[in-house]
Chain A
Amino acid sequence: MFRKILVANRGEIALRVMNTCREMGIPTVAVYSDADQKALHTLCADEAVYLGKSDPAASYLNIEKIVSAAIDTGSEAIHPGYGFLAENADFAERCEQEGLVFIGPPSRVIRDLGDKTVARRIMRKAGVPVIPGMNYAEPDPGILAREAQKIRYPVLIKAAAGGGGKGMRIVTTEKDMAAACAEARSEAAAAFGNDSIYLEKFLERPRHIEFQILADTHGNVVHLLERECSIQRRHQKIIEESPSPAMTPELRAEMGRTAVDAAMASGYVNAGTVEFLVDNDGKYCFLEVNTRLQVEHPVTEMITGIDIVRQQVQIAAGNPLTLGQEDIMGRGHALECRIYGEDPENDFFPCPGKILFMKEPAGPGVRNDCGVYSGFDVPVEYDPILSKLIVCAENRKLAVTRMINALRQYVILGIKTPVPLLIDLLASEPFERGETFTDFMATHFSNWEQGSREADLACMAYVIDEICGKRQTKAIPYSEISAITPWQTLGNWRL
């Protein structure tokens, strides 16, 4: 097994990976930028290496610096997390050349599947159904407009190197094409360093269902059931669950087999995700393969009991899978809510800033993968994810109740988060009925405003806080927060 692993990422995912490494007895190395000098991942690793300025190009996207950090610290493997270099074939290739093990697929596979147009060609050849659209990239808005006419509006401009909703625009009429192309290309260039775009038919009301797969270097491939990720805003998922409310055992078996076929067709190794769009009749189309650990992987971990990061490390070390398809079973129902620093009343605009106070939820079946703390300044330079709240319970109904209860316990002061929106969303009838299509937010929550049911109590708290005088302006150190209990402070009560 590896003597040391460098985690080339930040925030909650870096901490998530380090947790498993620690359980496996493998020391970890963190890397960090100026903005992350006091980030939790920097503080919690066995070692931390400074990369440079906060700009991702000077830090988390800088291949030279990360490779040097790995070599200098004697790391034998690099876990890329998600985002940043996770799906960068050049980085994986560089690791291969330097004799460092990249914990993910071979660079060739990342390169093939990372170009969405190449991936579409591979899948078509393997007999996997794909969404109607182009199989090559095209920069000319005029030509794109002609292609759009062929597949008919509405169409979706997608970045060939895309992922995470970046560089994606829905276009409904020809006159918006040029502007949308420019925006998509600029966003794609900033996010991926590659501005290639192409078109796919925009499907109006599909479900987004994906299969987690594991493939070892010995030719074994299994799937770890599905996740439904239909509830999205700005093409980014905010709630994921497993099993999908729309799944039948027959469809699961068929799609699972297709996912395994897709992995084999591309020569896949390590953990990956095959994404599909599914219509109301259970007809499904290949969307893309994510060649990384997914943000929402904990949902699968919660229902299967399998630690996916441990599997990734084992596979990267060349060990064969010890799990057969028949060993993999789901139990109960898991949900994940992504807690971003963003304003749910203002088009989910990112909302960085200082977290003045925070209290994480806890309880049976509750997991919070969190990368921030009270006093941490959430940097403007990176993705605004703060934490992922995951719950598991016997069935969907109980899981929803458990999630609402956990969200109500969550306290984050200082920056805006979607917590109040998530509570309303989970309690809504369409969600309860499992009517989770990708247009869910636009249909049911487009002009959502927070309620004010307990405004009177908020006024009381305001007045009491005012009476009690000025609070110290300095942030409370993380270490002091959880230590305060009523037993220490009840002394001044009089009843």
Chain B
Amino acid sequence: MEYRLKIGRDTIPVDVEVEEGPGINMVIRGKTFGVRYSMLSENQIHMLVSGNGMTRQVNAYVADGPDGKIVMMNGIPYLVSDLDVQRQRAIKGEVRDIPEQVTPPTPAVVVRILVKEEERVEKGQGVIVVSAMKMETTLRAPFTGQVKKINVAVNDKVTPGQIMVDIEKDKVSE
């Protein structure tokens, strides 16, 4: 079984060979590991990892994330996604490629709208102010262009991926 996993900017090929019982062999980026494991709970995996003549114990904590799984070890969370699953979803239209539109990074409430429809905006100009947990943040135009449509009103609750303002990019600007 082959996986192409993505962590941050890295694509990591993983070749998996499932054995009888709780052990599996994996080749990750050309290195071979033998792994015995036990699911201690729904979110907790204990692994005994052998490779390079060494064996070490690893406790990993796993939950489902937005585009894959979050794996946390030693205080560091890794967002791991399967590129092939992502591609399948993209073909089916489940994941919408977000173009350079103005969208909040987290659930938030619209506090002020700083532009009007048909108005020209410069790259980096403040477009909309949102508030999450009492903290105000200004969302800025990703490029120079013209505001085509404002899709939200003050006090609207907005979520990541929701396009708040459509800006038509200048053809000559980039």
Contacts and interface: CB of A to CB of B under 8 A. Distances in A.
Given A462-B80, A465-B62, A413 B72 contact: yes
Interface string A438-476: 000000000001111111111111111111100110001
Interface stretch (B39-47, B94-102, B145-153): B39-47
B73 A413 contact: no
Contacts of A166: 134-135
A359 to B, nearest CB: 7
A316 interface: no
Given A349-B106, A352-B106, A495-B36, A459 B28 contact: yes
A420 B29 CA distance: 24
Contacts of B8: 449-450, 452, 455
A329 interface: no
Nearest to A453: B76
B29 A413 contact: no
A468 B46 contact: no
Interface residues of B, number: 68
Nearest to A56: B134
A280 interface: no
Contacts of A489: 38-41
Contact of A462 (B5, B24, B111): B5
A251 interface: no
B63 interface: yes
B69 interface: yes
B107 A380 contact: yes
A481 B61 CA distance: 12
Interface in A473-495: 476, 480-481, 484-486, 489-490, 492-495
Interface stretch (A38-46, A116-124, A129-137, A184-192): A184-192
Interface stretch (A255-263, A303-311, A393-401, A402-410): A402-410
B90 interface: no
B73 A461 contact: yes
Interface in B15-72: 16, 18, 21-24, 26, 28-29, 31, 33, 35-47, 49, 58, 60-64, 68-72
Interface residues of A, number: 71
Among B49, B58, B80, B82, residue most surrounded by chain A Cβ atoms (within 10 Å): B80
B106 A458 contact: no
Given A357-B63, A459-B14, A464 B45 contact: yes
B12 interface: yes
A381 B134 CA distance: 7
Among A351, A382, A449, residue most surrounded by chain B Cβ atoms (within 10 Å): A351
A365 interface: no
Given A407-B75, A461-B62, A486-B46, A352 B26 contact: no
A350 interface: yes
B174 interface: no
A476 B24 CA distance: 28
Interface in A154-194: 166, 179, 183, 186-187, 190-191
B75 A410 contact: yes
A52 interface: no
A423 interface: yes
A460 B61 contact: no
B74 A492 contact: no
B35 A460 contact: yes
Contact of A455 (B21, B49, B78, B108): B78
Given A190-B131, A461-B47, A409 B38 contact: no
B12 A457 contact: no
B26 A460 contact: yes
Contacts of A459: 3, 5, 7, 12, 14, 26, 28, 80
17 contacts: A350-B133, A384-B133, A407-B75, A408-B74, A413-B77, A419-B76, A456-B29, A458-B71, A460-B26, A462-B68, A462-B80, A463-B16, A463-B24, A464-B39, A465-B69, A489-B39, A494-B23
Interface of B: 3, 5, 7-8, 10, 12, 14, 16, 18, 21-24, 26, 28-29, 31, 33, 35-47, 49, 58, 60-64, 68-78, 80, 82, 105-109, 111-112, 126, 129, 131-138
Given A464-B37, A490-B38, 20 more contacts: A190-B111, A349-B105, A352-B107, A357-B42, A359-B61, A380-B109, A382-B133, A408-B74, A410-B75, A413-B62, A450-B77, A455-B12, A456-B33, A457-B73, A459-B5, A461-B69, A463-B24, A464-B35, A464-B45, A484-B40
